[in-house]
Amino acid sequence: MSDQLFPVPEAIAAKAWVNEATYNAQYDRSLKDPEGFWREHGQRLDWIKPFTKVKDVSFKGDVHIRWFYDGTLNVAANCIDRHLEKRGNQTAIIWEGDDPNESRNITYKELHGEVGRMANLLKAQGVKKGDRVTIYLPMIPEAAYAMLACARIGAIHSVVFGGFSPDSLANRLQDCGSTCLITADEGLRGGKKVPLKKNADEALKASPSVKSVIVVKRTGSPIAMEAGRDVWYHEEAPKLSTDCPPEEMNAEDPLFILYTSGSTGKPKGVLHTTGGYLAYTSLTHQYVFDYQEGDVYWCTADVGWVTGHSYLLYGPLANGATTLMFEGVPNYPDNSRFWQVIDKHKVSIFYTAPTAIRALMREGEEPVKKTSRASLRILGSVGEPINPEAWLWYHRVVGNSKCPIVDTWWQTETGGILITPLPGAIAAKPGSATKPFFGVQPVLLDNDGKVLSGATEGSLCLADSWPGQMRTVYGDHQRFIETYFATFPGYYFSGDGCRRDEDGYYWITGRVDDVLNVSGHRMGTAEIESALVAHPKVAEAAVVGYPHDIKGQGIYAYVTLNAGETPTEELRKELVAWVRKEIGPIASPDLIQWAPGLPKTRSGKIMRRILRKIAANEHNALGDTSTLADPAVVGDLVDNRMNRG
Ligand code: ATP
Ligand code: MG
């Protein structure tokens, strides 16, 4: 399967920002002359005081990372003000509500006014440059206004996904000492109300640093307001001017803190700064999605995740793009919703996650086929390795076999996309993130820290910095050094395992901690999972290792079947035989447990560390589960754990 090559469609290559020849030339240049390369691309931003220094980085010792560091700018001005002359009346944000009858277009001019007012309201609430503001909002335009308003006045935002519990919110408020919280009365997702203000009140009891709360009215349900602390956005904002001069910020002043999704442990407060982050996200947004004038771009990620920061908001708006923001979920009112939204707004670039693709694939082709999707040109994937089976379905069914797929590998920590196909330049292989972006130097290391060359497999590290890289863990630089630079001195360690094939293509094999060692053979979880998902009856699979007397580690597979399939002993045997045939006897699962649902983070990633604990019969030590989307799933899996005697 991995040998299948999908060439770049000629029509795409002809118009693309980057084609095969220019990719190779520019990539070589970006490594030979990083200063020159980034000096040139730093010019894509509007600087108040132009930078003269490009890069000052050390991955050793106390680790410091600085880009464009004597320049000053304002991120909100770069995302809004500088477009006003040419694009004042162009739509900046298309907002599509949870209810299909609700949508709205916000022009750059309107965005300018809304952000100015929100910025003035923050100031009126006493928020100053450098203060932390936590944003706990649903996917409504005010979430974008709030982020950009912080950027405008130099406050540091910390967005917390609206699906998080009061406890998770409180932890994040305390960790960064927020003085202001922006929330809503309630959120609306899939027709259900989410009690945001109620959750916030609960969290605020444990968060004394918060002095003021701004509440946006979304559903109008009655909520409690605390006098002296809480204000209504719709009452206060109209009293204020829409004009708020942007604060002059150094390129290395913080822009935001964002907590990782918690797949592997307690979330880390990742800190990003202004200049390098914006230059990197805007350049990657343009090249990776081949963004062209007139495109309608839709990234389905919530603003609570880094994808929602870099590729829903900052990258696209810095490019003067039209970006779509969706409040709802893929299966409401029915399983055609994504595709209906694409038709309704003539979306040409669509960026989503493998978890969503697998869930929709489970429901068959009919909900997709009854829509047109004729406007689509480019498809994207992010968040987990995409199983080749899901890739092929996405390509054939959603993209009518004509849209290139960009499988983008990156992390909250990297700020932007690092390994990805460029649609006009790099032929795709289903399941591979393919090649590094400009300026990115991936290296694979073995456990002794030796750099591996050629076709090989190892721990994925980066040999040098790129402008979008995180600068520190907020308030804990030591943790930053220990987490990312201590394992392989001199390198940034991603935590992911990776294989490089004969063509120099990169394949993410899963988290390094999840690598299996079966009778001395090292295996990534991704490959076995993809083999299982390739079976026609399987919707989703998660594979972990468990202690095995003879093999050292045995292979334990959790399998979710397609809608309408029944788990039987025969099917279990069939799946074992199937994996043997697809990969080889060494990969055959020792145990298969039927899983009606898998434990996932709220961003939709499978949390293998929990599955590992269940498989090892250590379900009393599950670790941090605060970022689980549906804790009930765990109980079911524990109860039905395979009886191994
Ligand atoms: P935590 O760091 O708290 O454990 P997390 O790693 O899930 O959480 P994110 O920063 O949201 O937090 O996710 C980054 C990770 O997602 C990557 O390290 C990688 O494992 C996975 N990932 C993202 N995109 C891809 C992709 N295209 N292919 C393979 N894996 C991907
Ligand atoms: Mg991570």
SS3 sequence of 421-481: CCCCCCCECCCCCECECCCCCEEEECCCCCEECCCEEEEEEECCCCCCCCCEECCCHHHHH
For tokens 């298969």, the residue is 592
The residue ranges of the chain whose pLDDT is under 70 are: 1-2, 643-645
Looking at residue 342, what DSSP letter applies?
Answer: H
User: Which of 164, 257, 259, 261 has most ligand 1 atoms within 8 Å of its beta carbon, as the pocket-test mutant?
Assistant: 261
Atom 30, ligand 1: which residue's CA is nearest? 384
Is the beta carbon of 155 within 6 A of some atom in ligand 1? no
Which residues, at least 6 apart from 486, have a Cβ–Cβ distance to it below 8 Å? none
Structure tokens at 225: 């307001």
What is the rounded CA–CA span in Å between residue 147 and residue 234?
Answer: 17
Q: Are 387 and 530 in contact (CB under 8 A)?
A: yes
Q: Which of 524, 386, 518, 390 is nearest to 444 (CA)?
A: 524
Minimum-distance ligand 1 atom for the alpha carbon of 601: 7
Burial of 126 by CB count in 10 Å (0-12 exposed, 13-18 middle, 19+ buried)? exposed
For residue 623, is it left (φ>0), alpha (ψ between -120 and 50) or beta?
Answer: left
Q: Are 69 and 51 in contact (CB under 8 A)?
A: yes
Structure tokens at 62: 């106390």
For tokens 């968060």, the residue is 207
User: Which of 508, 624, 626 has most ligand 1 atoms within 8 Å of its beta carbon, as the pocket-test mutant?
Assistant: 508
Reported as type and span, the H/E element at residue 12 is helix 10-15
Alpha helices in 177-295 (DSSP H): 196-204, 233-236, 275-288
Q: Are 292 and 286 in contact (CB under 8 A)?
A: no
Structure tokens at 129: 């440059």
- pLDDT recorded at residue 515: 84
Structure tokens at 515: 């690598």
Is the beta carbon of 382 within 6 A of some atom in ligand 1? yes
Q: Return the ligand number nearest the Cα of 259.
A: 1
Which residues, at least 6 apart from 14, have a Cβ–Cβ distance to it below 8 Å? 424
Structure tokens at 172: 């994040």
Question: How many whole angstroms from 304 Cα to the centroid of ligand 2?
Answer: 15
How, if at all, do strands 180-184 and 230-232 pair? unpaired
Question: How many whole angstroms from 622 Cα to the centroid of ligand 2?
Answer: 18
Atom 19, ligand 1: which residue's CA is nearest? 384
Length reported for the chain: 645
Distances (CA, A) of 286 to 27, 321, 331, 481, 520: 16, 9, 30, 31, 44
Is the beta carbon of 494 within 6 A of some atom in ligand 1? yes
Is the beta carbon of 310 within 6 A of some atom in ligand 1? no
Distances (CA, A) of 162 to 183, 199, 318, 413, 583: 9, 10, 25, 21, 41
Q: Which residues are part of a known binding site for CoA?
A: 189-192, 307, 331, 519, 580
Residue type, 461: C
Structure tokens at 322: 């039209």
Residue type, 338: F
Distances (CA, A) of 333 to 84, 101, 113, 337, 338: 37, 11, 33, 7, 10
Structure tokens at 44: 């894509």
Which residues, at least 6 apart from 16, have a Cβ–Cβ distance to it below 8 Å? 290, 422, 423, 424, 425
Q: Which residues are part of a known binding site for ATP?
A: 383-385, 407-412, 496, 511, 522
- pLDDT recorded at residue 513: 86
Sign of CA dihedral 351, 354, 355, 358: positive
Q: Are 468 and 415 in contact (CB under 8 A)?
A: yes
pLDDT digits (tens, 9 = 90+) for 50-94: 999 999 999 999 999 999 999 999 999 999 999 999 999 999 999
Q: Where are the beta strands (DSSP E) in 217-348?
A: 230-232, 249-250, 254-259, 269-273, 296-299, 322-326
Is the beta carbon of 416 within 6 A of some atom in ligand 1? no
Q: Are 184 and 325 in contact (CB under 8 A)?
A: no
Looking at residue 181, what DSSP letter applies?
Answer: E
Q: Tally Cβ neighbours within 10 Å of residue 540.
A: 25
- The number of helices, as runs of H, and strands, as runs of E, in the chain is 22, 31
What is the rounded CA–CA span in Å between residue 130 and residue 117?
Answer: 19
Is the beta carbon of 110 within 6 A of some atom in ligand 1? no
First CA to last CA distance, the chain:
37
For tokens 């050629």, the residue is 454
User: Which of 605, 609, 612, 628 has most ligand 1 atoms within 8 Å of its beta carbon, as the pocket-test mutant?
Assistant: 605
What is the rounded CA–CA span in Å between residue 554 and residue 528?
Answer: 13
For tokens 């709360």, the residue is 213
pTM of the model: 0.95
Q: Which residues are part of a known binding site?
A: 189-192, 307, 331, 383-385, 407-412, 496, 511, 519, 522, 533, 535, 538, 580
Question: How many whole angstroms from 413 Cα to the centroid of ligand 2?
Answer: 8
Alpha helices in 583-642 (DSSP H): 608-615, 632-639
What would the 3-class secondary structure string for 507-548 be?
Answer: EEEEEHHHCEEECCEEECHHHHHHHHHCCCCEEEEEEEEEEE
Q: Which of 610, 106, 97, 128 is nearest to 313 (CA)?
A: 106
Q: Return the ligand number nearest the Cα of 383.
A: 1
Q: Are 408 and 433 in contact (CB under 8 A)?
A: yes
- pLDDT recorded at residue 643: 62
Q: Where are the beta strands (DSSP E) in 137-253?
A: 156-159, 180-184, 187-189, 192-194, 212-216, 230-232, 249-250
Is the beta carbon of 498 within 6 A of some atom in ligand 1? no
Q: Return the ligand number nearest the Cα of 512.
A: 1
Does a cis peptide bond (omega within 30 degrees of 0) precede residue 9?
no
Q: Are 240 and 56 in contact (CB under 8 A)?
A: no
Atom 14, ligand 1: which residue's CA is nearest? 411
Q: What angle do CA 13, 17, 19 make, to 5 degrees?
A: 45
For tokens 């009854």, the residue is 370
Is the beta carbon of 317 within 6 A of some atom in ligand 1? no
Q: Are 94 and 322 in contact (CB under 8 A)?
A: yes
What is the rounded CA–CA span in Å between residue 633 and residue 623?
Answer: 16
